[in-house]
Amino acid sequence: MTNVKPSFSPFPVQITTSLLTFHLTPAAFVVQGKMLFSLFGGKVWVENLKIERPFSPAAKIKADVNFEDIDLAKLSQHLSFGKIKGLVKGHVRNLVIAYGQPESFDLVIENVKKKRSGKKQRLLEPGYKLKKGNG
Buried b vs exposed e over 12-26: b needs ≥16 C-beta within 10 Å? Answer: eeebebeeeeeeeee
How far is 43 from 8, CA to CA, in rounded Å? 19
Contact 86, 109 (CB under 8 A): no
Please state whether the predicted TM-score (pTM) of the whole model is above 0.75: no
Instruction: Give me the pLDDT at residue 20, please.
Output: 84
How far is 46 from 11, CA to CA, in rounded Å? 18
What does the pLDDT look like over 94-129, one tens digit per residue? Answer: 999 999 899 999 999 999 987 655 554 444 445 544
